[in-house]
Structure 1
Amino acid sequence: MRHVFTTSLLCSMLFASCSGEKSDVYTIRGEIEGLPDSTVVLIIPLAHTSEAPLAETTVIDGKFEFTGTTDEPIASLLTVKDHYGSKRFILENADIDMSGNVSASESGDGRILYNFNDVTVAGSPLTDEYIVKMAPRYRIDSIMTSNQSTYATLIEQLHKAMADRNQTAIDS
């Protein structure tokens, strides 16, 4: 359900943006602390299936740059090759700047998990619109996560009662 909502929202934003003056190319300049030199960063389409990268470049002196063209705006992820974590944005023909820092932690399978929460995207009007339109959803997700944490024991007891078909425990 969440994916249908996100996809619908993105499609409506993309169609709404089809008017106005457009650049012919995109340039994405990034300066993100926490990404070591020689790290390969990718732009991949935000999709339900595994998609080939749209672009790939390497971090040098803490910076990276992508240049290219797209026929239409594409909901995308900036990610690190062969690792976890990403930054959502709308790839469009514009001058886009990404800055901030990432933190890294080890995952259980030997890959690194990069946290992109402190990375900002500037210069992409569609990304700005996406952030505004998705803010209520992220707020609701935050409330749900908080409630799940607060009531974790109660939820666990309810699931156990349901598995045991213990109606008395469920009712209590």
Structure 2
Amino acid sequence: MLRNNLIVLLLAAAGLFSSCGSGNHYSLTGSLPARYDGCLVKLTPATFFFSEEKPSPVDSVKIKDGKFQFAGTVQEPTVYMLTIDGVDYKIPDVASIAVVIEPGDITMVYDTLGIMVSGTPVNERYMTTIGEAKRETVRQRQLLWQERDSVKRLPGSVENEVDNYYNLKSSAIFKENVIPASENFIREYAGTEIGEFFFFHCCGKDVYSKAFVDEVYPTIRPEIREQYEALIRARQEKQDY
């Protein structure tokens, strides 16, 4: 009887350790057109654009049959940059995209509007806010550029004037869609590394609403704010010369 009880305890302990390990497991599966087969996909820890640190990729894999996959373990949701060599950087949110690596099965599907990401809580929330706003921006801009090109073909049109007009309309589309969506997402994760990263990654500090900046900017770690402000001061000094 004692031997049987010992076996049961050992099996229970093994199951406990197994469940703990699997609870931190993630997989990231991407799907995109087969023409990108053979391209190298890299997964790199995300850093702020003003950070001097430039980390190296932690993993890489080649696309095969329109698919790629990463897998591993992670202790808490962390932002990584996923880059694809050989993809046209004019294609929005395909050549380089920020993705939150967190426990669970993450799926990324690429199309002409960018990406759709699903499967885990933070990524799902990103998609319903910033992700969908970016896709809607691309859709509206595609229609806008078609209209612009039609106007350019009209007799008497001046190309520079037409371009300036539609560039302003393009900027307005971005502001109407992406800025409020970014503020909603970042506000939910204020005080976390995810909130900090996307605060600087999505839009410029001077683009957000004043109320949003007053609310969220103080939640960012002081050392991160100082790095950012040092960059702004350096840029201003260059302009003053």
* TM-score of Structure 1 vs Structure 2, range by shorter chain: 0.5 to 0.7
* 1:96 equivalent among 97, 106, 121: 106
Q: How many percent of aligned residue pairs carry the same amino acid? A: 24
Deviations 1:123-143 (A, max 9, x none): 0211122344547996xx99x
RMSD across aligned C-alpha pairs, in angstroms?
3.5
Looking at structure 1, the residues matched to 58 and 71 of structure 2 have their Cα atoms a distance apart, in angstroms, of: 11
What is the identity, as a one-letter code, of the residue corresponding to 2:37?
D
Deviations 1:111-159 (A, max 9, x none): xxxxxx4221110211122344547996xx99xxx989239xxxxxxxx
Deviations 1:55-114 (A, max 9, x none): 211101111111111122111222114765312221112111111335xxxxxxxxxxxx
Is the helix fraction higher in 1 or 2? 2
Structure with the bigger RCO (C-alpha within 8 Å, sep 6+) is: 1
TM-score by structure 2 length? 0.39
TM-score by structure 1 length? 0.52
What is the identity, as a one-letter code, of the residue corresponding to 1:65?
Q
Looking at structure 2, the residues matched to 94 and 33 of structure 1 have their Cα atoms a distance apart, in angstroms, of: 24
Q: Tell me, which stretches of 5 or more residues in structure 1 are unaligned?
A: 1-21, 103-116, 152-172
CA pair 79-148 structure 1, distance change in 2 beyond 3 A: same
Looking at structure 2, the residues matched to 89 and 74 of structure 1 have their Cα atoms a distance apart, in angstroms, of: 8
Number of positions where the alignment pairs a residue of Structure 1 with one of Structure 2: 114
- Check the 8 A contact 1:35/1:59 in 2, yes or no: no
Partner of 1:170: none
Partner of 2:36: 36
Q: CA deviation at 1:23?
A: 2.6
Q: Tell me, which stretches of 5 or more residues in structure 2 are unaligned?
A: 1-21, 90-94, 139-163, 170-241
Partner of 2:167: 149
- Check the 8 A contact 1:26/1:67 in 2, yes or no: yes
- Check the 8 A contact 2:41/2:84 in 1, yes or no: yes
* 2:57 equivalent among 53, 56, 66: 53
Secondary structure at the aligned position of 1:77 is classed as strand
Partner of 1:123: 119
Q: CA deviation at 1:45?
A: 2.1
CA pair 147-93 structure 1, distance change in 2 beyond 3 A: farther
- Check the 8 A contact 1:32/1:119 in 2, yes or no: no
Secondary structure at the aligned position of 1:68 is classed as strand
Looking at structure 2, the residues matched to 30 and 77 of structure 1 have their Cα atoms a distance apart, in angstroms, of: 14
CA pair 93-135 structure 1, distance change in 2 beyond 3 A: closer
